[in-house]
Structure 1
Amino acid sequence: MSTAVWFITGASSGFGRLMTEFVLKKGGIVVATLRQPDVLAELKAQYPPEKLLILQLDVTKPEEIIDSFAKAEKAFGKIDVVFNNAGYALLAEVEGAPEDKARVMFDVNFWGATNVSKEALRFFREVNKPAGGRLLNVSSIVGITTVPALGYYNASKHALEGITETLASELDPEWNIKITLVEFGGFETRGRDSLVRAPPHAAYLKPSLASAASRSYLLNKNVRISGDAGKAIAKVYNLAQLEDPPLRLPLGNDAVTGFREKVAKILTDVDKYKSWSEGLAINS
C-alpha cells in the first residue's frame, strides 16, 4: 500500500488532516480535498505534486465531487482508497435545533458523504477495473448509539450507516470493492472547535438533564478527550490493507463498549417481547 493513491475529504483538520500526513509519511500518494486549499500550504511546500494533489472541494456540490475525482484520475490514473471523512456536528437539543442549520449539516454529513461514496464506487468499478478499491466511510459510535444534545448529528451518522450498509449489500463481488464504516469513539482531534452551537432550549435548562451534561462536557475545553487520534489513524491505515475487512470497525474502548451495550439492549428487548410476534401470521 506504500504507493497507493488515497482520496481524502475534509483534509483540513481532524482525522482528515491526520490521515493525509500519515499516508504521505508512509510513502503513499494523497489527493487531499477541502473547502480552503490554502490551509494545507505547509504540506504543499513539503511534498511534490506527484505525491500530494490538493483540490478545493465542497462535498455539498455534486459537480465538484465529480470534478475532483476526474482531476485525481488525470493526475494519477487511479484511486485505491477513499477516506470519506468530511463532516461536523451541531450541538442542540432536538427541539431547539434551528432546522436550517440541521439541514446544512445533513447536506455535508449525509448527502455529501453519500455522493462521494457513489462517485468512489463508480471510479473503482469503471476506472480501476479489475482492481476495485476501498471505501472507508467515517462514522462514529453515535451512528449506533446516541449522545444527548447531538440529536441531528446522531441522526446524520445513523443515516450514513444505513446508506453505507445498503451500498455494501448491492455490490457485485466481481467489482472487488470493499466498504467499511469506521466507527470512531472519543478522540482528541480538536473537533470541538468546529462544533456549531445553538443556545439551549428553554425547556432543557435543568442541570440534571442528560443534554445539559453533554453540553458541559463538549464545551469544556479543559476536559481532554482520552483517545489518541494519531494511533487511531494508524489502525485505519492498516484497515485499508486487509484482504477481508469488516463492514464496521469500532475504534476506541468507548466505541467497543457502546456497541456491546447497544446490542445487549436490543437483544434484551427482542427476547422480552418475542412472544408478541407469535400467532401473527395469516391463518395462524
Structure 2
Amino acid sequence: MANVRVWLITGASRGLGRAFTEAALTAGDRVVAAARNVEPLEELAAKHPDHLVPLPMDVTDRQAVFDGVERAATAFGRLDVVVNNAGAMLYGMVEEATEEQIRAHMDVNFFGAVWVAQAVLPHLRTQGEGRLLQVTSMGSGGGMATVGFYGAGKAALDSVSEALAMEVERFGIKVTILQMGGYNTGLFTTGTTTTESLPQYQPLHTEMEAMWGDAAGPEPDTAAPVIMELAALPDPPRRLIVGSQSFDHVLQMSQTQADLYRSWEHLSRIAPG
C-alpha cells in the first residue's frame, strides 16, 4: 500500500465520518469525503485543497454510488481505505414504524453500504490490495426496544461483511467490521427519524428514554486513533469493537447469550440436526 493512502469515507460531513476524515488528513493522507450534503466540508476542503475532495453522493441511489466511486477512484488515482460509515437512526417500536420509514432506513444503513462495497471492489481487486472498513454497532449482535431497526440494519451489514471478507481476501482485500460504541455523532438528533408513538407503548418508551439518559457519549475524534492504527496494520482483524466501555458491554452480552443457550441445552439436543 502506498505511503500516502487514499481514503473514501461515506457520511463524512459529520460525526465519525468527519472525525476519520480529519485524522486521515492530519496523517498526510488524501481523502475523498462523500456525503449527501458536502457543504459542511467546504471549510475543511479550503484548508486541504490538494488532499481533500468533497464528493456529493446519496448512498441510497445505487447508480449514483457507482458513478461517485468512479470519480473517487480517479480523484487521486487509487483507493486504499474505504470506510462505509453513512448511517441513520429509526427510533421507535417495531409496530409503530411505517413501511416507508423501514425501507428508507434500510436503504441507508444496509443497502447503501452494500452498493458502496460493490462499487469499490473492482478497483481494489485490480490494485491487488485495499481495506474496507464496515461501520456497524456494538449492538449488532442483538436487538433492543426502540432501536430494533437500527440494530437490524447493522446486523445485516455485519453478516454480509463476514461473508464478504471470506470472498475477497484472496484478492488482497481486507475487510474489518467496526463495532462502534455510542459516540456523540448527532445520530440521535439530525440523523434520526422518529415513529409516531402508540399509547400502548408509552410506559416502555418512558423506561427506554430513562435508560438511554442524556449523556451524549465521547466525542467522535476519540475513536479516530483506533481507525488510523487499524488501517496501518498489515494483517488487520476481521472484527473490532471500538470503545473501552463498548468492549465490556459486548463481552457481557455475548456471555449472557451463551448462558441462555446452555440453560436450554437439554431441549436443543432432543433434535438430531
Scaled by the length of structure 1, what TM-score is found?
0.89
Give the drift of 1:2.
5.6
Q: What SS does the corresponding residue of 1:83 show, helix, strand or coil?
A: strand
Amino acid at match of 2:238: L
Say which of 149, 152, 163 aligns to 1:152: 149
Give the drift of 1:9.
0.4
Matches within 5 A, 1:68-217: 68-126=68-126, 128=127, 130=128, 132-173=129-170, 175-194=171-190, 195-206=192-203, 209=204, 211-216=205-210
Maintained 8 Å contact 2:139/2:250: no
Amino acid at match of 1:19: F
Alpha-carbon separation, structure 2, partners of 1:91 and 1:279: 39
Alpha-carbon separation, structure 2, partners of 1:18 and 1:234: 10
Q: Report the counterpart of residue 37 of structure 1 in structure 2.
A: 38
Maintained 8 Å contact 1:145/1:259: no
Alpha-carbon separation, structure 2, partners of 1:172 and 1:57: 27
Amino acid at match of 1:59: V
How many residue pairs are counted as aligned between the two chains?
Answer: 271
Q: What SS does the corresponding residue of 1:142 show, helix, strand or coil?
A: coil
Alpha-carbon separation, structure 1, partners of 2:93 and 2:268: 35
Give the drift of 1:213.
2.9
Amino acid at match of 1:33: A
Maintained 8 Å contact 2:90/2:105: yes
Question: Which whole-Å deviations, capped at 9, do the CAs of 1:20-55 have from their partners, x for residues lacking one?
Answer: 11111111100011111222111121111x311111
Percent of matched pairs sharing the same residue:
33
Q: Report the counterpart of residue 266 of structure 1 in structure 2.
A: 257
Q: What SS does the corresponding residue of 2:143 show, helix, strand or coil?
A: coil
Alpha-carbon separation, structure 2, partners of 1:135 and 1:172: 11
Alpha-carbon separation, structure 2, partners of 1:92 and 1:98: 10
Alpha-carbon separation, structure 2, partners of 1:204 and 1:277: 33
Amino acid at match of 2:54: I
Alpha-carbon separation, structure 1, partners of 2:217 and 2:42: 29
Give unmatched runs, 5+ long, in structure 2.
none
Alpha-carbon separation, structure 1, partners of 2:141 and 2:19: 24
Alpha-carbon separation, structure 2, partners of 1:278 and 1:18: 48
Alpha-carbon separation, structure 2, partners of 1:44 and 1:96: 41
Q: Is 1:232 paired with 2:226?
A: no
Question: Which whole-Å deviations, capped at 9, do the CAs of 1:215-256 have from their partners, x for residues lacking one?
Answer: 3565x6xx2333232121111111111122112111123321
Amino acid at match of 1:18: A
Q: What SS does the corresponding residue of 2:136 show, helix, strand or coil?
A: strand
Amino acid at match of 2:258: L
Give the drift of 1:102.
1.4
Alpha-carbon separation, structure 2, partners of 1:152 and 1:281: 34
Give unmatched runs, 5+ long, in structure 1.
none
Q: What SS does the corresponding residue of 2:176 show, helix, strand or coil?
A: strand
Name the Cα RMSD after superposition.
1.9
